[in-house]
Structure 1
Amino acid sequence: MNQANMAATTNSNLNMSASIAGVLNEEHCPEHLQVLKTFTAALRDKEYRDAVQEEVFSILLKVLSRLCDELQAASCDNQDLQSVALQLQLTAECFRAQRNACVQSTRNQSLLRELGFINISIKILSFLQTTHLESREGIFEPLRCGIQFLGNLSVGNQICKDDIWQLSFPNLLLQLLSVDDEKAVNYASMVLHTCLDEAKVDELSDPQNIQLARRVIELCRTQPDLDWTVIIATQYFLKSSALVENMYSGMSHRERITLLELLSAQLQEKDSEECGIPASVARFLASSFQEGCGAVLTLATGSASSDDEVLQEALTVISLLDVLCEMTSDHRQFMFLQDHPGLLVTTAELLGQVHAVGKASKNIFSAAQNFSSFSGDEDSYSPVISFKAHLIRLIGNLCYSNTNNQNKVRELEGIPLILDNCNIDSNNPFISQWAIFTIRNLLEHNTQNQEQVAALERRGTADYSALRELGFLVEERDGSLLLKTVRKDS
């Protein structure tokens, strides 16, 4: 910077100091708001930002402190609404100036932190959450700007991140994520994301702090357009087995479904071989499915339609099954679930129960040929769409190249059960394809299973017309059974 520019900047700093000092020492008026707006606008220029003297920020801090005191006093007295509205506008403009000062400026981030801006800003934000000011609508502008300041202050500055976390975690962050203002919630989500790291996720896992994590998941459900909450959940939450387990245990079934949908989406991401979800989370979800899977059978009686809690519990089981299907499909790191105690047995037994219930009487688990359910008509929607197909899919995944599991399905009488599901069913799109897939995995390199299917065919107890319709033929050759692809018109 040449001498002329230096002199101009010095004069500008002196003038700004004097102008902001007027805001500090005089009775507030609309002209003061214009002074702060001029400062905010000037801070958009990088050269000006880098040259602002500490004294200017010191005076601004005193203005902010005075406004804090005045707002607190206003909440106790019946002050003039116009006066309170101006105080809120001045507070918002101070926050805007602070926000602009921190943009791409490590120097200003550190300077504002050292001067004490974090403490006073958080004090005001906390106060605005609980205030009974008459001008309630006017709090959203300072809230938004104050949260943005914390966000800009923390970007790329670990010391600022840690200070903000220490002063706002967990109560203020939870309050800010609960504000009845979508923009404020979005900015608060950004602050939370910026401050988070592995150690802070561990703090979130503590039972006394878990409510904050649950609020993030709730926002993923109620405000799916807030990208930050989804990013927080997928980048941090799903990678912590302690957090996932503690959240899940305390959640409502509706919240659990949201968490499971996030897990499923993460598993379906392209190139997600290493999706970051720990093995312990997979074990926990498998055990949760085993413990609660019976709840889905309540849907057969129709009682769930009048009891939302019962319905949500059943839908949680369905979501758990979807996640387990994804985990055991093209994710080598989760194939240990093939050996998870009791998982295959539970799945096969549940398939048998669902199949039997569907055949016993006309109910939600009965096979249907009503393809209007794919037209988008809500009245024809079934909560168990594809459930039976996914049970068969999971059995197929668990039996892939696993002789012990192939044998276990045979011992559980699972092979004829799966063959009985080769017919087209509008309640279970692609069930015949999943049945074929699973039969393939059950017969592969397993002579005993092949012999059982051959015996079923000799006794005429298995219907292979559906297999042939799909282009497959069960053929006995030299005492063994083969599953062959054939032309449908042959």
Structure 2
Amino acid sequence: MSRSGEIGADEEILAALIEVSKTPEGRRGLSDVLADTLFLLPASPSRPLLLRLRLLRNLLAGDELNQYAFIEHSGPAVVAAAVLSFPSPAPDVARAALQALGNAALAGEFHRDAVWEAIFPEALRKFAGVRDAGVLDPLCMVLDTCCGEEGGRWRLNDLCHEDLGLPILVQVVNTASQVEHKEEWLEWLLFKVCVEEQKFEILFNALCSSNDVECTDSGEYNAKHAFLLGTLSRCLNNHPKEVTVSDSFAHHVFNVHKHAAETVDFTHRGTSRLPTGRPAIDVLGYTLQLLRDICAWESPSSETQGPVGSLLQTGLVKRLLKYLGELEPPSTIRKSMARGQGDNHPALENGNVCPYIGYRTDLVAVIANCLHGRKKVQDEIRKLGGILLLLQQCVIDEDNPYLREWGLLAVKNLLEENEENQKEISELEMQEPVITPEIANIGLKVEIDKETGRPKLVNTSDA
């Protein structure tokens, strides 16, 4: 039989073994095949190599015997060496290799240790250099699995090492931002690195170097910064009870937000939601959404307070009220003012505009969450003259979906069990609805709740 014929026969056998190994029973019956597969792996041409890696992947999927045999036969090192033997591994080969390593790492700390020793940092750099969405997900699975739990702390420190590991993370974020990767393995990995292990500032700064063309073109931020923040925001929003948020991370996010607010041009009205494709605006928006969810996050431990208390001490509410007050009025109020006084009203001429659809809503949402159950914040807003400003947000705005709902929640939280704020709107002894010109202009009135004797905000359009 010719050499090509032998290879063809081998490929047929491998394809059959791969099919058998898809079931638990098949994997148990092929336990003796694993050692032979590893032995043949280094000398395998590209196609048989891919098939053997896929066979290993299947054999290691939840089979404890095969997982231990893989470590005993130096499987992680053999797989890593096979990948490193190629100047640029094909995406299919890299994907299958990572899937095999990931299945082995899932078996426990002993296996994760062996996998990490074999792939960090050279093989991981090679994997991270393959810009393919199909490779990125198993790569993030391996990284997240190896760096998880208590035993993974030292490996996580390796991954955040300035010279050895950080370039790998930067490459992961770079590739993910280019292919718009949004799988959960990536979310968990980046959240673990940036939030739980407080490496956000290190990674964020590493995403932009002095010779980064994207940075110099767009000012302070690039698409990688926006992608990182968007991923962290999505993870916190989707899994608030499964993550931990530190004071340090919260303060870093607020600092980035303040800097972005100084960078964005508020004279150009945004016409799209996040992401807009403009890095500075996306950074502004994603940091605001992170602050919204950080201020709503509650620590699972009754002995530990969430980071919102620490944020409030840095002037968060005062700054957000300033941003909100600098905006032009919501569209409903603008139309009413234009009908009554024309387009020359100062509020219509001089106000900032929303740089993306939903910016005003995000501002109000953060304030609403800060107000919840916090009398100091309620009093601060009153002293800053912000009550009427919040009342003006209880309307429909064409460029800010759900503004009315968040505005009403903010006012509810503002008035709840705070007599001073209630008096600011209405005298408690009045038994008839209170309608001031300012409130009436935005379709609201204050009524006295017959059961509690306290004022409540009512939307007149619902009457």
* C-alpha distance in 1 between matches for 2:237 and 2:271: 30
**Shift in alpha-carbon separation, 1:179–1:311, aligned structure 2, 3 A:** closer
Bigger proportion of residues as helix: 1
Equivalents in 1 of 2:34, 2:197: separation in Å? Answer: 48
2:49 aligned to which of 91, 95, 120: 91
Cα 1:105–1:36 change in 2 (3 A) is farther
Label 1:96 to 1:33 Cα distance change in 2 as closer, same or farther (>3 A): farther
Residue 411 in structure 1 maps to residue 383 in structure 2: yes
**Residue aligning to 2:322:** 349
Q: Does 1:482 align with 2:455?
A: yes
Per mean C-alpha deviation after superposition, the further-off stretch among 168-177 and 212-221 is 212-221
Report the 3-state secondary structure (helix = DSSP H, G, I; strand = E; otherwise coil) of the residue aligned with 1:473: strand
Q: How does 1:221-300 map to 2 (within 5 A)?
A: 221-224=177-180, 227=183, 229-233=185-189, 236-237=192-193, 239-251=195-207, 252-269=221-238, 272-296=240-264, 298-300=265-267
Q: CA 1:364–1:207 in 2, change beyond 3 Å: closer, same or farther?
A: farther
Corresponding residue for 1:34?
9
Task: Give, in angstroms, the shift of residue 176 of structure 1.
Answer: 1.4
| Cα deviations by residue, 1:107-127 (Å, 9 ceiling, x for unpaired) | 444444444443343122123
Q: Distance in 2 between the 1:99 and 1:481 partners?
A: 66
Shift of 1:184: 3.6
Show the counterpart of 1:154: 105
What's the secondary structure of 2:373's corresponding residue? coil
1:290 maps to amino acid: K
The 8 Å contact of residues 216 and 229 in structure 1, kept in 2 or not, is answered as no
Whether contact under 8 Å (1:253, 1:309) holds in the other structure is no
| Identical amino acids, percent of aligned pairs | 19
**What is the alpha-carbon distance in structure 1 between the residues aligned to residue 394 and residue 28 of structure 2?**
72
Normalising by the residue count of structure 1, what TM-score does the alignment of the two structures yield? Answer: 0.68
Q: For 1:433 and 1:226, locate their aligned partners in 2 and report how far apart those are by CA, in whole Å.
A: 29
Query: Aligned partners of 2:34 and 2:179: how far apart in 1?
Result: 42
Cα 1:364–1:341 shift into 2, 3 Å: closer
Q: 1:323 Cα deviation (Å)?
A: 1.8
* Partner in structure 2 of residue 398 of structure 1: 370
In the alignment, which residue of structure 2 is the partner of 1:123? 81
Match of 1:202 among 157, 172, 177: 157
Pick closer, same or farther for the CA change 1:62–1:274 going to 2, 3 Å: closer
Q: Which moves more between the two structures, 327-336 or 313-322?
A: 327-336
Displacement of 1:65: 4.0
Does the 8 A contact of 1:40 with 1:96 survive in 2? no
Is the CA contact 2:196–2:244 (under 8 Å) kept in the aligned structure 1?
no
1:170-185 to 2 correspondences below 5 Å: 170-185=121-136
* Amino acid aligned to 2:440: S
CA distance in structure 1 between the partners assigned to 2:410 and 2:97 by the alignment? 57
Q: How many Å separate the matches in 2 of 1:444 and 1:37?
A: 72
- Pair 1:429–1:182, CA change in 2 (3 A): closer
Q: 2:412 aligned with 1:437, yes or no? A: no
Equivalent position SS for 1:162: helix
SS at match of 1:463: helix
Distance 1:228 1:122, change over 3 A: farther
Q: Which residues in structure 2 correspond to 1:45-124 (within 5 Å)?
A: 45-46=26-27, 48-51=29-32, 57=36, 63-67=40-44, 87-124=45-82
* Unmatched runs of 5 consecutive residues or more in structure 2: 208-220, 300-305, 335-345, 428-434
Letter in 1 for 2:142: V
Aligned to 1:74: none
Between 1:163-172 and 1:40-49, the stretch displaced more is: 40-49
1:284 maps to amino acid: H
2:270–2:357 CA contact under 8 A, matched in 1 = no
- How many corresponding residue pairs? 409
Structure 1 residue 351: Cα displacement: 1.6
Between the aligned partners of 1:273 and 1:142, the Cα distance in structure 2 is: 37
Q: Which one has a bigger Cα radius of gyration? A: 1
Give the Cα separation in 1 of the matches to 2:459 and 2:182.
Answer: 51
After the TM superposition, list the runs of 4 or more consecutive aligned residues in structure 1 that deviate by more than 6 angstroms: 302-305
Q: Any idea what SS the aligned residue of 1:299 has?
A: coil
Superimposed CA distance per residue, residues 262-288 of structure 1 (whole angstroms, 9 cap, x where no aligned partner): 333333337x34533334322332333
Asked if 2 retains the 8 angstrom alpha-carbon contact of 1:338 and 1:398, the reply is no
**Partner SS state of residue 456, structure 2:** strand
Deviation at 1:169, TM superposition (A): 1.9
Asked whether the equivalents of residues 219 and 229 of structure 1 are also in contact (C-alpha less than 8 Å), the reply is: no
Among 440, 446, 451, the alignment partner of 1:465 is 440
Q: What is the SS of the residue equivalent to 2:455?
A: strand
Give the distance between the partners of 1:362 and 1:177, measured in 2 at CA. Answer: 50
C-alpha distance in structure 1 between counterparts of 2:436 and 2:64, whole Å: 77
Q: TM-score, normalised by structure 2?
A: 0.72
Give the superposition deviation at 1:343: 0.9
- The whole-number CA distance in structure 1 between the counterparts of 2:405 and 2:91 is 54
CA contact (8 A) 1:202 1:243 kept: no
